[in-house]
A = this chain, B = another copy of it.
């Protein structure tokens, strides 16, 4: 499989650029979208939940959340554990989620145009396996089942 990384990585920049363009209407970027997406699909969450999910350090998530708060997309309420802040979507956040979700799904369909349905499914299923292999070797103890997002 020599050359796999080349092929994998060469989509990255154009894809991210495309996604960021898509969301620029809402002053969002894909990194901010990840937070919105997580909260929408896992319910109100803490900063640590989110940073674990995306394998990103806490300060990074702090910044993302602060930005989303400025945009009135999320709000933070104190948790029962008073160290925690529970992050949840606002009304506006819910709306923006729906609109972005629609746009992103459209793009997901467009980038698959002309590609065999079978092959799409195989790639879809194989990517998380590759991810599991990469992370396994990194020393983190994450099971493949935890990696696949619902």
Contact = CB atoms under 8 A, between A and B. Distances in A.
Interface residues of A, number: 54
Given A18-B137, A120-B126, A108 B4 contact: yes
Given A111-B133, A129-B114, A124 B30 contact: no
Contacts of A56: 13
Interface in A72-126: 104-105, 107-115, 119-120, 122-126
Given A120-B1, A123-B123, A124-B7, A133 B105 contact: no
A100 to B, nearest CB: 12
What's the number of copies of this chain in the assembled complex? 2
Given A9-B30, A137-B18, A4 B130 contact: no
Contacts of A70: none
Contacts of A8: 11, 15, 127
Given A1-B120, A10-B128, 19 more contacts: A3-B108, A4-B111, A5-B104, A7-B131, A8-B11, A9-B15, A9-B16, A10-B127, A11-B127, A11-B134, A13-B55, A17-B138, A18-B134, A111-B133, A112-B130, A113-B133, A115-B130, A119-B122, A122-B126
